[in-house]
Structure 1
Amino acid sequence: METAYRTAPHAEPFRRFGEWMERVVAAQVKEPTAMSLATADERGRPSNRMVLLKGFDERGFVFYTNLESRKGRELAANPHAALCLFWQPLELQVRIEGAVESVTADEADEYYNSRARGSRIGAWASSQSRPLASYDELMQRVHDYEARFAEGDIPRPPHWSGFRVVPERIEFWQGRASRLHERERFEKDASQPDVWRVQNLYP
């Protein structure tokens, strides 16, 4: 029989995530926004890599990428993903699962324009996840795009944008002694979109 659950307002897990992120930043944990991103192709075969969280609010959790990369192609074919952030020094972990949607062009432009010049050039030069004959070939492409954009702004490439993971499930994990960890899962209530069903889980 399913154990009893309680409910929480829509903002609650995002508020808690923000509090945990503040703790992590204050503790000077290296790469606090690093997270694992799991995707799957159209046949359900998974792949996983590390990306950086670039923003979050009550709509979801955002990262950016080359849309023609493996993850971009997989998300186009199967728009669902799982994220995991683990901050080992504090023994904190957050797991996020949900559908994926594209960010708006304005959001992508704003973030792209905030990046260092070298990173913006790199977005043009790298055919991410495609075969590369040699590193020299990549450097030549960087040189070519530096010449192309020697003057003026560097526009966002049409193949570069962001995704938002819209969470259907968020789990907070706190490490404890003797592996008696605390786990709390927030799960969207299909009948009440502004409410989460919350359950504690055995470690």
Structure 2
Amino acid sequence: MSDDAATAITGTDPFALFDAWFADAKAREPSDPDAVALATATPGAAPSVRMVLLKNHGPTLGDHGGFVFYTNAHSRKGQELRSNPQAAMLFHWKSLRRQIRIEGTVSEVDPAMADAYFASRSRDSQLGALASDQSQPMASRGEFLARIAKVTAAHLVGKVPRPPHWTGFCLAPSAFEFWMDRPFRLHERRRFERTSDGGWSGTLLYP
């Protein structure tokens, strides 16, 4: 997609526009085009943000479409999402000079979906998930490596079971904002918001 074509932030379907930009990023962004900043908050509204990897997305996920990532539900983000199921995402493709913000509510994926994705991971990643108490204090790196060695020995053959606290979350968007760099900081922005009938309303924003 040329930059001129990509400036068509004029469609009525933000999922279709996301698909076009994401495909372009996968073709041209040299490093982790599926990396996304995920912002969560505590019930008291204290924010936190970190990078995760987008693993699935589309307008047919959940009731109104969504964006799926996986994590240990006992981690800080997992605990925050369970206690305050709202989140925001930011895709920033520096090489393309574009970004997409997504805001919405979050729900956990069903166990079958989490099982299927966990089974697709490398065995070393599965064992690491089983051994890690993500976000919890750790006395030393050696302690973690010892735990990995222990779970590896316990699962030399057969499938590695998905830990019950390792799961996926799906962000169902209520708003998108597409941003494209322009000379002299005269950037191009368009925001889409979910309407009461399940559709989308879009408007340009001043940069």
TM-score, with structure 2 as normaliser = 0.91
Q: CA–CA distance in 1 between the matches of 2:129 and 2:161?
A: 10
Which of 188, 192, 200 lines up with 1:196 in the alignment? 200
Q: CA–CA distance in 1 between the matches of 2:162 and 2:11?
A: 42
Where has structure 1 moved over 4 Å in runs of 4 or more? none
Amino acid at match of 2:15: F
Which of 66, 79, 84 lines up with 1:78 in the alignment? 84
Which of 97, 101, 107 lines up with 1:101 in the alignment? 107
Q: Secondary structure at the match of 1:129?
A: coil
Structure 2 gap ranges (5+): 1-9, 60-64
Structure 1 gap ranges (5+): 1-5
Which residue is equivalent to 1:135? 141
Q: CA–CA distance in 2 between the matches of 1:89 and 1:119?
A: 29
Within a 5 Å distance, the mapping from 1:142-157 to structure 2 comes to: 142-157=148-163
Give per-residue Cα distances to partners, 1:131-170, cap 9 Å, x unaligned: 0000000001000100111110001110100000000000
Q: CA–CA distance in 2 between the matches of 1:186 and 1:105?
A: 31
Number of positions where the alignment pairs a residue of Structure 1 with one of Structure 2: 193
Which residue is equivalent to 1:40? 41
Q: CA–CA distance in 1 between the matches of 2:83 and 2:100?
A: 26
Structure of higher RCO (CA pairs closer than 8 Å, 6+ residues apart) = 1
The RMSD of aligned alpha carbons is 1.2
Tell me how far 1:22 sits from its aligned partner: 1.0
Give per-residue Cα distances to partners, 1:5-48, cap 9 Å, x unaligned: x993xxx1111111111111111421000110000001110001
Which of 122, 131, 147 lines up with 1:125 in the alignment? 131
Q: CA–CA distance in 1 between the matches of 2:186 and 2:46?
A: 32
Which residue is equivalent to 2:173? 167
